[in-house]
Amino acid sequence: MKLKKISTAFVLGGIVMGLSACQTNPSADSAKAIAAQAMDSKNVESKSHVSQSGVYSFMLNNGMKVLVKPDHRSPVAVSQVWYKVGGSYESAGVTGVSHALEHMMFKGTKKLKPGEFSEIIAANGGSENAFTGKDYTAYFQRISSDRLELCLRNEADRMRNLQLSEDEFKKEIEVIKEERRSRTDDNPSALTYERFNAAAFINSSYQQPIIGWMEDLDSMQLSDLSAWYKTWYAPNNATLVVAGDVDPQQVKTWAEKYFGVLKPSDITPPKPRREVAQMGERRITVKLPAKVPYLLMGYKVPVLKTRLKEQKDTTDIYALEVLAGVLDGGQSSRLSRRLVREKEIASSAGAGYDPYARQQTLFLFDGSPRAGHTVKELEMAIKEQIKNIQNTPPSAQELERVKAQVMASSVYEKDSVFYQAMQLGTLETVGVGWQKKDEYLKKIQQVTAQQVQAVAKQYLTDDSLTVAVLDPQPIDATKQRVDRAAGGRHGQ
C-alpha cells in the first residue's frame, strides 16, 4: 500500500514523464552490452548520430524523425509513433478531438478493416495501445523483436490512409463519452482537477480537458476528426521511437521503406496562446456528492521549452525539479514528514512539477486533510512549508537525498524499454529535443540550495496561485446529477 515514490516529484501525469540522464557509470555495464553498442554504431551511416546514452537518431527525407535505443536484454521491442498534436492544440468547441481521433485510428484504413491492425498485433503476441496528452498523441506496440516490421508497416499505413467511417464514429463517440463518465464525471477528485485546471488558465489552451467537455463530445462531427487528421497526421509532424532488441540499421531501412515514402504536409504550428499574467489569486469550490475533502493548489511556472524559446537560462527549471524533490521526493521529504507525520494535518499531501510541456504550466500541490482538520488548515500548512524554503535554503542532506534518488533512477529506468522510449518521445514531441535527456542528471547535480530557495521565492507567490477545493456534499441516490447549467442559472 505504501507506494514508495522514488522521484514522484519527477513523475506527473500518470505516466512517467521523467527524464533520465546519461550513463554515468559505463564500466558498470556489461562488456557485452558495450560490444553490442559498438557493433550497432558501425553499421549505421555516418549521417545518423549516436548519443552518449546510446540513442541513434536520423531524419527521413520527408522530415520524419527516427530515434532508436537498442537494449538487448530481452528479445522484445517497443515501437512508438508520436504526433505533435494533443489537447492543447484544440480550439474551444472541439475539445477532445485529438483523443477522439486517437480512438478512430484503430478503425481501419484503405487496406485494413476496423480493428484489423489490433488483430494482427494480437496474433503476433504483441500488445498495443495509444495515448493522448496535452502536447502529443502517440501509438505504440510491444512485441517480440522479430515482428517489429509489421508494426512499422501498419503504423505507416494509418498515418496517411485512415478511413473514417460515419458508422464507426457514431459508436466510438459513445464509447468516448463512457470513458469520460468513468474517468472524470464519476470520480470526484478527477472532476475537481478538471475544474481547477479550467480555472487556473485564463487564455492558455492548457485549461481544456484532454478528453474534452461533454458538450463538445455531444456536438462532435466526423468532419472535425477528418480535418484534424488532415492537418496533423503527416511524417514531418511525427517521431518514430523504437527501443529494445533491434539493430538501428535495420530500423532505419524499414523506416525509410514504410514511412520514408509518405508525402509530407505543410504544417502550420498552433497559435501561441501564451498565458497572460495572472494578477492575483484565483479560487474555486467544487461541490460534489463525495466523502473526503480534497485540495489542489497550483502556481504558474515556466517549463524547459518556454525557457529555451526565450533563450533564457534553464537553471530555474532544474531547480524547480529539485524543489519538487525536496517537498515530495520520497517518504523522507518535507510534505510527508511535516504535514503527514509531525503535524498530522494531512491524510495525504503531494507536490509535483512536469518540466516537459510546450507552455507554462503549474507547480502542483494536492492533499486531503485528516479527520478533525480542514482544507483551510491544510492549505495554510502547505503554504508554511513553501515559506520555510523561501526563508531558508534546504539543507545539504536534503539536497543530497534528492540527487541520490535522481541518480539511482537514471540506472533503474534502464529496466524498462518502454519507459526509455517514452522519455525520448516526450522530449522530442514537446519540442525540447530528446538530447536534453542526456543533460538531465548533470543539470540536477549542479543545482544549489540557494537556487532552490530562489525559485521558491520567485514562482510560488500568492498572485500566481490557483486553489480548488472539493467540498463534499451528501451522497444522495435520489438526486440525479445534471451535466449542464440549467437555464444558465446554476451548474455544479
Partner 1 sequence: MASKKKLMNKKNLISKKTLNSKNIMNAKKIVLLVGFLFAGALSASPQIQHWQTQNGAQVYFVPSNDIPMVDVRIVFDAGSARDSAPLSAPDSTRDSARDSARKAGLSGTALMTNGLLAEGAAGDDAQILAEKFEAVGAAFGNGALKDMAWLNMRSLRDDKYLQPALINLKNILSFPAFNQASFKRELERLKITVKAGKQSPGTIASLRFFAELYGDHPYAQPSTGTEESLQQLTVKNLQAFYKKYYVGKNAVIAIVGQLSTDEAKKMAADLVAELPAGEHAKALPDVKALSEAKTIHIDFPSRQSTVLMGQPGLARGDADYYALYLANHAFGGSGFGSRLMHEVREKRGLAYSTYSYFSPMRAAGPFQIGLKTRNDQLQEAMKIIHLELEKYVSKGPNEDELGDSLKNITGGFPLRIDSNKKIAEYLSVIGFYKLPLDYLDTFVGHVNQQNKAKVDDALKRRIHPQKMLTVIVGAKSEK
Span of 57-65, 235-243, 250-258, 476-484 interacting with partner 1 by CB under 8 A: 476-484
Query: Is 480 a residue that touches partner 1 (CB under 8 A)?
Result: yes
Contacts with partner 1 in 420-459 (CB under 8 A)? Answer: none
Query: Is 384 a residue that touches partner 1 (CB under 8 A)?
Result: no
Nearer to partner 1, 338 or 443 (CB): 338
Instruction: Yes or no: say if 240 and 79 are a contact pair by the CB < 8 Å rule.
Output: yes
Q: How far apart are CA 79 and CA 306, in angstroms?
A: 29
Burial 420-438 (b: 16+ CB within 10 A, else e): bbbbbbbbbbbbbebbbbb
Nearer to partner 1, 122 or 485 (CB): 122
Query: Is 178 a residue that touches partner 1 (CB under 8 A)?
Result: yes
Q: Give the CA count within 13 Å in the CB-facing half-sphere of 62.
A: 23
Contacts with partner 1 in 2-21 (CB under 8 A)? Answer: 2-6, 8, 11-15
Query: Is 397 a residue that touches partner 1 (CB under 8 A)?
Result: yes
Query: Is 164 a residue that touches partner 1 (CB under 8 A)?
Result: no
Contacts with partner 1 in 242-281 (CB under 8 A)? Answer: 245
Query: Is 34 a residue that touches partner 1 (CB under 8 A)?
Result: no
Q: How far apart are the first and last CA of the chain?
A: 33
Query: Is 353 a residue that touches partner 1 (CB under 8 A)?
Result: no
Q: Which three cell numbers stand for residue 232?
A: 496533423
Q: For helices 396-412 and 449-459, what crossing angle results, to 10°?
A: 90
Q: How far apart are CA 464 and CA 238, in angstroms?
A: 34
Query: Is 348 a residue that touches partner 1 (CB under 8 A)?
Result: yes
Q: Which of 157, 179, 256, 471 binds partner 1 (CB under 8 A)?
A: 179
Query: Is 177 a residue that touches partner 1 (CB under 8 A)?
Result: yes
Query: Is 67 a residue that touches partner 1 (CB under 8 A)?
Result: no
Query: Is 411 a residue that touches partner 1 (CB under 8 A)?
Result: yes
Q: How far apart are CA 168 and CA 160, in angstroms?
A: 18
Q: CB 93 → partner 1: shortest distance, Å?
A: 19
Q: How far apart are CA 415 and CA 406, in angstroms?
A: 15
Contacts with partner 1 in 90-149 (CB under 8 A)? Answer: 99, 102-103, 106, 114-115, 118-119, 122-127, 129-134, 142-144, 147
Nearer to partner 1, 60 or 99 (CB): 99
Q: How far apart are CA 45 and CA 168, in angstroms?
A: 44
Torsions phi, psi for 486 (to 5 deg): -85, 120
Q: CB 462 → partner 1: shortest distance, Å?
A: 21
Beta strands in 260-397 (DSSP E): 282-289, 294-301, 346-352, 361-369
Residues 6+ positions from 220 with CB-CB distance below 8 Å: 94, 96, 97, 100, 173, 212
Q: Which of 266, 371, 486, 489 binds partner 1 (CB under 8 A)?
A: 371
Q: Which residue of the set 102, 155, 168, 275 is catalytic?
A: 102
Q: What is the DSSP letter of 269?
A: P
Q: CB 140 → partner 1: shortest distance, Å?
A: 10
Nearer to partner 1, 174 or 384 (CB): 174
Query: Is 382 a residue that touches partner 1 (CB under 8 A)?
Result: no
Q: How many residues bind partner 1 (CB under 8 A)?
A: 121
Query: Is 33 a residue that touches partner 1 (CB under 8 A)?
Result: yes
Contacts with partner 1 in 35-54 (CB under 8 A)? Answer: 36
Q: How far apart are CA 116 and CA 153, in angstroms?
A: 13
Span of 38-46, 338-346, 436-444, 458-466 interacting with partner 1 by CB under 8 A: 338-346
Q: CB 387 → partner 1: shortest distance, Å?
A: 21
3-state secondary structure of 379: helix
For residue 285, count other CB atoms closer than 10 A to its CB: 12
Query: Is 303 a residue that touches partner 1 (CB under 8 A)?
Result: no
Q: How far apart are CA 412 and CA 441, in angstroms?
A: 13
Q: CB 59 → partner 1: shortest distance, Å?
A: 27
Locus of grid cell 528479445? 75
Q: Which of 40, 90, 172, 216 binds partner 1 (CB under 8 A)?
A: 172
In terms of Cα–Cα distance, which of 322, 373, 326 is closest to 347? Answer: 373
Catalytic residue flag (residue 439): no
Strands 346-352 and 361-369: antiparallel
Q: Which of 203, 332, 395, 450 binds partner 1 (CB under 8 A)?
A: 332
Q: How far apart are CA 108 and CA 328, in angstroms?
A: 44
Q: Which three cell numbers stand for residue 294?
A: 480534497
Query: Is 189 a residue that touches partner 1 (CB under 8 A)?
Result: yes
Q: Which residues are catalytic?
A: 102
